[in-house]
């Protein structure tokens, strides 16, 4: 199976009729203005690639197959510890979030699934939500539990932790919540549970490192035992925040140790923003894969910490280097199919535009990684030719593959220029009329 084409194949199998949120005539009208230029650019790029014995049609097919899940929590305006500024037309419930996700996918044609965060997105009727989602041509990706935040009518507080809490009552509550998320996911057709906890300490001596880690392992083993046989558990590490002195699962090493201890279908999830600045994330990708524990990604970008900025907006070369490793892994392991999800918070942009942009940037990094001359690179590595090895990577990275992405969208009935088409559709303005702003309510969370 091509790299992460699981979602598109799932949609093809489960969706017989698909409704659209935007009128297709809007997309067709904008595409008509841009199709001639695209044909010219595509042909020029095809000729350039042909001189390197690269078939542009094969690349376009791979681009068309690429999929990444949308975060349900990413459809509303995010915020910081200081303030939140609600945007117009924000989704007020999970159904409106799904509608916005359908718009992102209709225009960009790379995001046919949604990753839910529970209890933020708990539906009253799972069957109704599933039917609504499928009618819009979408499916559900990994489920996300939430034990880093207290909820209404919650018996015990997570102020001092959840799965690693010193008191058993808090741990039992957190275990029960994760199992409830699994049960909901089963009804929605999901196949994975992502577990991220903020457990840790803010002062030296506050927490016994070994005991806290042992409690976390005991609890996650109970959760793992509740997984269906065809599910995966994804452990997400984060260097700091909300704990600032120590975090129970603070790095990929801790995540790997935990996943190895818990079980075969427990794997590690890499969030690009959950590392210290300048950490070699691409090497972490290689290490986890080499030992069979690379399970998924939360894609975003950062300058300082867990900034949750749009993918590719700060360090697109790092994103490319991550996919350079992923394509290499896929070439050697045909069954390799990690969970790909966006995870970002939008403070000053329209969330729909940011998600369209981010999905395209991740797709762009994937296509560029397909261009790397693997044979030449291996030869340069074997002969310790550092200059030509890095030049081989830069040659692929520097090539403008925008015509390939545009053609892939066009052939899948998407938009050649999705952000321009979105703006011309007036969708946000229409949402503003239907969804009045409530300054005291958030359509998203910060993860």
Convert 383-406 to b/e letters by CB count within 10 Å (16 or more is b).
Answer: eeeeeebeebbebbbebebbbbbb
- pLDDT at position 165 over 90: yes
Neighbours of 282 (CB within 10 A): 17
**pLDDT for the residue 196:** 98
Sheet architecture: strand order including 266-271: 143-144, 192-195, 232-236, 266-271, 294-299, 339-342
CA distances, 80 to each of 50, 140, 335 (Å)? 48, 28, 39
Q: Which residues contact 184 (CB under 8 A, 6 or more apart)?
A: 118, 122, 126, 143
Q: Measured between alpha carbons, how far is 272 from 257 in angstroms, rounded to an integer?
A: 19
- pLDDT at position 230 over 50: yes
DSSP 8-state code for residue 166: S
**pLDDT for the residue 3:** 45
Q: Measured between alpha carbons, how far is 298 from 338 in angstroms, rounded to an integer?
A: 11
Mean pLDDT of 381-405: 98
- pLDDT at position 446 over 70: no
The overall average pLDDT reported for the chain is: 94
Give 24's pLDDT tier (boundaries 50, 70, 90): very high
Mean pLDDT of 417-446: 83
**pLDDT for the residue 251:** 98
pTM listed for this prediction: 0.94
**pLDDT for the residue 81:** 67
Give 79's pLDDT tier (boundaries 50, 70, 90): confident
Give 1's pLDDT tier (boundaries 50, 70, 90): very low
- pLDDT at position 163 over 60: yes
E-assigned strand segments in 70-228: 70-71, 113-115, 139-140, 143-144, 192-195, 200-201
At residue 194, the 3 state secondary structure works out as strand
For the stretch 236-287, pLDDT in tens is: 999 999 999 999 999 999 999 999 999 999 999 999 999 999 999 999 999 9
Task: Measure the CA dihedral 94/272/326/396, to 10°.
Answer: 110
Q: Measured between alpha carbons, how far is 330 from 142 in angstroms, rounded to an integer?
A: 21
Distance from first CA to last CA of the chain, Å, rounded?
31
Q: Which residues contact 4 (CB under 8 A, 6 or more apart)?
A: 66, 67, 68, 337, 338, 339, 340
Q: Measured between alpha carbons, how far is 198 from 372 in angstroms, rounded to an integer?
A: 38
For the stretch 39-56, pLDDT in tens is: 999 999 999 999 999 999
Contact call for residues 354 and 346 (beta carbons, < 8 A) = yes
CA proximity to 96, closest of 63, 125, 132, 69? 132
**pLDDT for the residue 347:** 85
**pLDDT for the residue 439:** 59
Q: Which residues contact 239 (CB under 8 A, 6 or more apart)?
A: 247, 250, 251, 274, 275, 276
């Amino acid at each position: 199976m091509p790299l992460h084409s699981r979602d598109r194949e799932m949609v093809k199998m489960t969706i017989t009729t698909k409704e659209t949120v935007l009128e297709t005539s809007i997309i067709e009208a904008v595409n008509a203005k841009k199709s001639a230029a695209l044909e010219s650019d595509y042909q020029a790029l095809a000729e350039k690639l042909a001189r390197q014995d690269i078939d542009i049609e094969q690349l376009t097919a791979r681009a068309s197959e690429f999929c990444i899940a949308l975060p349900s929590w990413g459809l509303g305006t995010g915020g910081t510890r200081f303030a939140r500024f609600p945007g117009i037309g924000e989704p007020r419930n999970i159904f409106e979030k799904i509608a916005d996700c359908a718009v992102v996918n209709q225009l960009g044609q790379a995001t046919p699934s949604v990753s839910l965060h529970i209890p933020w997105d708990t539906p009253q009727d799972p069957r109704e939500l599933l039917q609504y989602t499928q009618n819009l041509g979408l499916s559900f990706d990994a489920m996300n539990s939430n034990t880093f935040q207290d909820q209404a009518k919650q018996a015990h507080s997570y102020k001092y932790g959840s799965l690693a809490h010193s008191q058993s009552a808090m741990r039992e509550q957190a275990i029960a919540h994760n199992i409830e998320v699994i049960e909901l996911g089963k009804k929605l057709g999901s196949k994975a549970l992502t577990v991220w906890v903020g457990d840790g300490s803010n002062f030296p001596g506050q927490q016994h490192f070994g005991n806290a880690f042992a409690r976390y392992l005991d609890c996650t083993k109970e959760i793992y035992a509740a997984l269906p046989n065809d599910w995966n558990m994804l452990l997400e590490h984060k260097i700091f925040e909300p704990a600032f002195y120590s975090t129970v699962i603070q790095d990929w090493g801790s995540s790997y140790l935990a996943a190895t201890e818990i079980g075969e279908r427990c794997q590690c999830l890499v969030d690009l923003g959950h590392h210290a600045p300048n950490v070699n994330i691409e090497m972490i990708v290689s290490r986890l894969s080499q030992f069979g524990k690379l399970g998924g990604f939360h894609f975003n970008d950062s300058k300082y910490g867990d900034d949750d900025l749009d993918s590719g907006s700060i360090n697109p070369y790092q994103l490319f280097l991550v996919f350079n490793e992923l394509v290499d892994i896929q070439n050697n392991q045909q069954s390799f199919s990690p969970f790909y999800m966006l995870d970002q918070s939008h403070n000053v942009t329209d969330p729909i535009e940011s998600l369209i942009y981010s999905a395209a940037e991740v797709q762009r990094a994937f296509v560029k990684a397909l261009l790397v001359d693997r044979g030449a690179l291996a030869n340069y590595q074997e002969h310790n030719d550092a200059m030509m090895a890095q030049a081989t990577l830069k040659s692929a990275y520097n090539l403008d593959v925008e015509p390939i992405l545009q053609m892939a969208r066009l052939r899948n009935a998407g938009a050649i220029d999705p952000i321009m088409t979105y703006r011309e559709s007036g969708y946000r303005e229409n949402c503003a009329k239907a969804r009045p702003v409530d300054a005291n309510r958030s359509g998203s969370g910060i993860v």
